[in-house]
Structure 1
Amino acid sequence: MHRLKLVPLIAACAAFSACTRSAEAPMAASASAPAASEAPGGWLGRWQGPEGTFLEITGGPGTYSITVQNLDGPRRFDAKAGTDTLVFTRDGVLEAVRAGSGPQTGMKWLAEKRDCLIVKVGEGYCRD
Structure 2
Amino acid sequence: MKKTFFILSTLALLAACNQEARQAPKPAPASVQATLVPQTPPTDKWVGKWVGVEGLHLTIAKDDSIGRGHYLLTMQYGLDADDSGTFKGEAAEDGIAFNRPDGPQLLRAGDGAATGLKWLADKKDCLVVVTGEGYCRD
1:43-69 CA-to-partner distances (Å, cap 9, x unmatched) read 000100011110110015211000111
1:14-43 CA-to-partner distances (Å, cap 9, x unmatched) read xxxxxxxxxxxxxxxxxxxxxxx8731000
Structure 2 partner of 1:50:
53
SS of residue in 2 equivalent to 1:52: coil
- Structure with a larger share of its residues in helix: 1
Alignment RMSD, CA only? 1.7
Structure 1 partner of 2:135:
125
Structure-2-length-normalised TM-score: 0.62
What are structure 1's unaligned runs of at least 5 residues? 1-36
Structure-1-length-normalised TM-score: 0.66
**Does 1 or 2 have the higher relative contact order (CA < 8 Å, sep 6+)?**
1
What are structure 2's unaligned runs of at least 5 residues? 1-39
Equivalent pairs, count: 92
Say if 2:71 is the partner of 1:68: no
> Quick one: percent identity of the two aligned structures?
45
Cα distance in structure 1, aligned partners of 2:107 and 2:122: 20
SS of residue in 1 equivalent to 2:61: strand
CA contact (8 A) 2:50 2:137 kept: yes
